[in-house]
């Protein structure tokens, strides 16, 4: 890492509950143990470190930092991606916690992408009715979305994240250096969640992306001069929303922009699509739906729909989903967590950074919007 890179951490508070630290060298730096210790607190003696099989070097580095703090570290490797988020894997981790004698003053650390942090948070939420968890996301998606906010969960055959709990972490550590080892396609997929924050709350994000989209999805994306600002802006959007509405009773729903259709695509495709890729198509779908439903009107509305296509396509993210799967997608959407009874609910836009809700649109309207993104 170049000495010219600022290694100081930006501290972003999530209300009065916990902080998200964003910066360079937060895991490998000389003060990594102090940062982790500060997030975990003094009472913790044992840590369950949950990690995927693909980041051995990072796992060893984090284990060493925790041990320098005087903690006993128990490591558990879990499957990569969505395969980690099952009841079977969670039960295995509960068994390990029991055998190791973890108490309410001990903690879980999730090191990995969004699937690992979702799983680690859920296991922490349910062990002894709740122990501390610190999240150390290693993907862009994890940093700006999954690890922040306290939503934890696992999947079932019927849908994504249908089993879960709200369990805010004790802290989140976002070391931007780890993004240099991320496959370019994964980093690009994470940008979909960043762009989402731009559409729902912070249009400066959109301006930053439009200024140099090629650099953000190229081989040097991890060192792009705007990446840190994009991460910090996206985290601030989520932090402000979560602080105002932890349990998704009202405002927090806006963070699901593009997710109802996106989650349906993930389920129908058996999670072979990256989450960000599915959300990318989901945002275009819901923009088209908003226009059909009268939320986006006139030249201004047309321009905002076109901006969805333009930004996402400039990042080489998908904006279309092949036709022929509409009945399956509709069934999957009806099982979405945001549904109320038989009514589907969508987050839509009335304009840039003006989110609204569309409740109970007719099936014909939903299918017309699908026709605009299929083919």
- Give the CATH number for residue 317: 1.20.1090.10
| Percent over 70 (pLDDT), the chain | 95
Q: Please indicate, yes or no, whether residues 90 and 139 belong to a single structural domain of this protein.
A: yes
Q: What is the pLDDT of residue 159?
A: 80
Residue 57 corresponds to which tokens in the numbers above?
A: 């070097």
Q: What is the pLDDT of residue 263?
A: 93
Q: Please indicate, yes or no, whether residues 163 and 195 belong to a single structural domain of this protein.
A: no
Q: Per the domain annotation, does 5 fall within a domain?
A: no
Answer yes or no: 24 catalytic.
Answer: no
Answer yes or no: 129 catalytic.
Answer: yes
| Percent over 90 (pLDDT), the chain | 73
Determine which one of 151, 196, 274, 291 is catalytic.
Answer: 151
DSSP 149: S
Sign, CA dihedral 118-168-348-162, equals positive
pLDDT, tens digit, 9 for 90 and up, residues 13-40 = 998 889 999 999 898 777 888 888 889 9
Query: Could you tell me which residues come within 8 angstroms of residue 77 by beta carbon, excluding any fewer than 6 positions away?
Result: 51, 52, 53
At residue 248, does pLDDT exceed 80? no
Residues annotated within a binding site for NAD(+): 80-85, 138-139, 151, 160
Q: What is the pLDDT of residue 242?
A: 87
Q: Please indicate, yes or no, whether residues 106 and 169 belong to a single structural domain of this protein.
A: yes
pLDDT, tens digit, 9 for 90 and up, residues 343-368 = 899 999 999 999 999 999 999 999 99
Cα–Cα distance measured from residue 362 to residue 356, given in angstroms and rounded to the nearest whole number: 17
Q: Please indicate, yes or no, whether residues 124 and 217 belong to a single structural domain of this protein.
A: no
CA 149 to chain centre: 9
Determine which one of 35, 236, 256, 288 is catalytic.
Answer: 256
- In 214-310 the beta strands, taken as DSSP E runs, fall at none
Last residue of a domain, one of 181, 206, 236: 181
Q: Please indicate, yes or no, whether residues 214 and 75 belong to a single structural domain of this protein.
A: no
Q: Please indicate, yes or no, whether residues 267 and 144 belong to a single structural domain of this protein.
A: no
Q: Please indicate, yes or no, whether residues 249 and 364 belong to a single structural domain of this protein.
A: yes
Answer yes or no: 275 catalytic.
Answer: yes
Cα–Cα distance measured from residue 190 to residue 169, given in angstroms and rounded to the nearest whole number: 21
For the ranges 136-150, 264-278, 288-302, 327-341, the maximum mean pLDDT occurs at 288-302
Determine contact, residues 73/49, Cβ cutoff 8 Å. yes
Determine which one of 24, 46, 161, 193 is catalytic.
Answer: 193
pTM equals: 0.90
Last residue of a domain, one of 159, 181, 203: 181
Q: Per the domain annotation, does 39 fall within a domain?
A: yes
Q: Which domain holds residue 92?
A: 10-181
Determine which one of 236, 252, 316, 345 is catalytic.
Answer: 252
Cα–Cα distance measured from residue 242 to residue 88, given in angstroms and rounded to the nearest whole number: 29
Answer yes or no: 295 catalytic.
Answer: no
Residues annotated within a binding site: 80-85, 138-139, 151, 160, 193, 259, 275
Answer yes or no: 259 catalytic.
Answer: yes
Q: Please indicate, yes or no, whether residues 104 and 193 belong to a single structural domain of this protein.
A: no
Determine which one of 275, 291, 295, 337 is catalytic.
Answer: 275
pLDDT, tens digit, 9 for 90 and up, residues 127-152 = 999 999 999 999 999 999 888 888 89
Residue 324 corresponds to which tokens in the numbers above?
A: 């022929």
- Strands 355-359, 345-349: pairing kind: antiparallel
Last residue of a domain, one of 181, 196, 221: 181
Answer yes or no: 274 catalytic.
Answer: no
| Number of structural domains the chain divides into | 2
Q: Please indicate, yes or no, whether residues 95 and 230 belong to a single structural domain of this protein.
A: no
Residues annotated within a binding site for Zn(2+): 193, 259, 275
Q: What is the pLDDT of residue 284?
A: 98
Q: Please indicate, yes or no, whether residues 44 and 114 belong to a single structural domain of this protein.
A: yes
Answer yes or no: 266 catalytic.
Answer: no
The band of 9, judged by pLDDT with boundaries at 50, 70 and 90, is confident
Answer yes or no: 99 catalytic.
Answer: no
Determine contact, residues 336/260, Cβ cutoff 8 Å. yes
Answer yes or no: 151 catalytic.
Answer: yes
- Strands 171-175, 159-166: pairing kind: unpaired
Q: What is the pLDDT of residue 340?
A: 56
Q: What is the pLDDT of residue 4?
A: 40
Q: Please indicate, yes or no, whether residues 176 and 203 belong to a single structural domain of this protein.
A: no
Q: Please indicate, yes or no, whether residues 246 and 176 belong to a single structural domain of this protein.
A: no
Answer yes or no: 248 catalytic.
Answer: yes
Sign, CA dihedral 336-338-342-343, equals negative
């Amino acid at each position: 890492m170049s000495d010219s890179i600022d290694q100081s951490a930006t501290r972003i508070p999530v209300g009065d509950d916990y902080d998200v630290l964003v910066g360079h060298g937060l895991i490998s730096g000389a003060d990594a143990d102090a940062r982790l210790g500060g997030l975990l607190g003094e009472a913790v003696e044992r840590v369950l470190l949950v990690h995927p099989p693909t980041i051995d070097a990072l796992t060893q580095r984090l284990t060493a930092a925790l041990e320098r703090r005087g903690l006993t570290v128990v490591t558990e490797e879990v499957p990569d991606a969505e395969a980690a988020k099952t009841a079977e894997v969670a039960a295995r981790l509960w068994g390990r916690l029991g055998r190791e004698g973890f108490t309410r003053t001990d903690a879980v650390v999730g090191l990995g992408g969004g699937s690992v942090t979702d799983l680690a948070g859920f296991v922490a939420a349910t062990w002894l009715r709740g122990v501390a968890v610190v999240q150390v996301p290693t993907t862009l998606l994890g940093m700006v979305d999954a690890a922040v906010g306290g939503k934890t969960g696992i999947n079932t055959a019927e849908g994504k994240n249908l089993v879960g709990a709200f369990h805010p972490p004790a802290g989140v550590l976002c070391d931007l250096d780890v993004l240099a080892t991320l496959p370019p396609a994964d980093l690009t997929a994470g940008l979909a969640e960043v762009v989402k924050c731009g559409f729902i709350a912070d249009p400066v994000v959109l301006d930053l992306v439009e200024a140099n989209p090629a650099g953000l999805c190229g081989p040097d994306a991890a060192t792009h001069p705007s990446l840190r600002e994009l991460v910090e802006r996206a985290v601030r959007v989520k932090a402000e929303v979560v602080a105002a509405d932890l349990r998704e009773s009202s405002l927090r729903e806006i963070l699901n922009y593009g997710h109802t259709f996106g989650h349906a695509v993930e389920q129908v495709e058996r999670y072979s699509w990256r989450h960000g890729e599915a959300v990318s198509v989901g945002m275009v779908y819901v923009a088209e739906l908003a226009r059909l439903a009268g939320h986006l009107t006139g030249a201004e509305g047309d321009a905002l729909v076109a901006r969805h296509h333009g930004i996402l396509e400039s990042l080489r993210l998908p904006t279309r989903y092949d036709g022929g799967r509409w009945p399956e997608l509709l069934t999957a959407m009806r099982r979405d967590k945001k549904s109320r009874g038989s009514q589907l609910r969508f987050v839509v836009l009335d304009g840039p950074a003006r989110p609204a809700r569309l409740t109970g649109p007719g099936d014909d309207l939903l299918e017309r919007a699908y026709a605009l993104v299929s083919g």
